[in-house]
Chain A
Amino acid sequence: MNRSLPLVILAMAILAFATVMLVVAPKVQIGREPAAAGLKPYTTEQLRGRALYSSLGCVYCHSQQPRAPDQAPDAERGWGRASIAADYAYDSPHLMGTMRTGPDLLNVGARLPSASWQLTHLYQPRAVSAWSIMPAYPFLFEVKDRASPGDRVVWLPEDRRIPGKVVVARPQARDLVAYLLSLDRTYPVPRSAIRDDGYSRGGATQ
Chain B
Amino acid sequence: MSKPGPVDEAYEPYEPRRRVPLPVYWVAIALALWGALTLWQDSTADRTGARERLMEANALERRQTMTGSALFAERCATCHQADGSGISGAIPPLASSRFVQADPRVIVQILLHGINGPIVVDGDDFNGHMPAFGSVLDHDQLARLATAVRRTWGPGGIIDPRFVAAERARTANRGIPWSGGAEIAAALDPAIGIQPAYHPPASASADTTALSIARNGKSGGWSCASCHGANGEGRDGVPRLAGQSADYIAGQLLAFANGSRPNDIMRPVASQLSASERGGLGRLYAALASPSTSRSELAGDLARGAELALYGDDRRNLPSCFSCHGPSGFGVAPSTPSIAAQQPGYTAGRLAALARFARSRPGAVMPAIAARLNDTDRRAVADYLATLPPSPVTARKDAR
Contact = CB atoms under 8 A, between A and B. Distances in A.
A117 interface: yes
A195 B48 CA distance: 13
Interface string A106-142: 0100111111110010000001111000000000000
Contacts of A110: 235-237
Contacts of B48: 197, 200-202
Interface of B: 12, 14, 41-42, 44-46, 48-50, 52-53, 57, 217, 219-223, 226-227, 235-238, 264-265, 268, 271, 297-299, 301, 345-346, 348-349, 351-352, 375-376, 378-379
Contacts of B297: 81, 186, 188
Given A2-B12, A69-B379, A128-B268, A76 B349 contact: yes
Contacts of B14: 2
A107 B53 CA distance: 22
Contacts, number: 107
18 contacts: A2-B12, A73-B352, A75-B298, A76-B351, A80-B345, A81-B297, A110-B235, A114-B226, A116-B220, A116-B222, A116-B226, A128-B264, A155-B221, A157-B268, A191-B53, A197-B49, A200-B45, A201-B48
B125 to A, nearest CB: 44
A204 interface: yes
A168 B271 CA distance: 23
A55 interface: no
Contact of A197 (B50, B235, B376): B50
A78 interface: yes
Given A197-B46, A201-B44, A201-B48, A113 B226 contact: yes
A201 B50 CA distance: 11
B379 A113 contact: no
Main secondary structure of the interface of B (DSSP, over half): helix
Given A155-B217, A204-B375, 20 more contacts: A2-B14, A76-B378, A78-B236, A78-B345, A81-B298, A81-B299, A107-B236, A110-B237, A112-B227, A113-B235, A113-B238, A116-B226, A117-B226, A127-B268, A155-B222, A186-B236, A200-B45, A201-B45, A202-B48, A205-B376
Interface centre among A153, A199, A200, A204 (most CB of B within 10 A): A200
Contacts of B221: 116, 155
Contacts of A75: 298-299, 345, 348, 379
Contact of B49 (A113, A155, A188, A200): A200
A143 B148 CA distance: 66
A1 interface: yes
A114 B49 contact: no
Contact of A200 (B52, B236, B265, B268): B52
Given A2-B14, A75-B298, A78-B236, A114 B268 contact: no
A198 interface: yes
Contact of A111 (B52, B238, B264, B301): B238
B305 to A, nearest CB: 14
Interface of A: 1-2, 69, 73, 75-78, 80-81, 107, 110-117, 120, 127-130, 153, 155, 157, 186, 188, 191, 195, 197-202, 204-205
A69 B264 contact: no
A114 B53 CA distance: 34
A114 B226 CA distance: 5
Nearest to B297: A81
A197 B379 CA distance: 19
Contacts of B301: 205
A141 to B, nearest CB: 15
Contacts of A197: 45-46, 48-50
B376 A115 contact: no
Contact of A117 (B227, B235, B351): B227
Q: Which 10 residue pairs across A and B have the least CB separation, nearest first?
A: A197-B49, A78-B237, A114-B226, A200-B49, A129-B264, A110-B236, A157-B268, A155-B220, A76-B352, A76-B348
A188 B60 CA distance: 14
Nearest to B378: A76
Interface centre among B42, B44, B219, B299 (most CB of A within 10 A): B299
Contacts of B53: 191
A77 B379 contact: no
Contact of B375 (A73, A107, A186): A73
B379 A115 contact: no
Given A116-B223, A117-B227, A204 B376 contact: yes
A103 to B, nearest CB: 11
Nearest to A107: B236
Nearest to B345: A78
Contacts of A127: 268
A198 B43 CA distance: 8
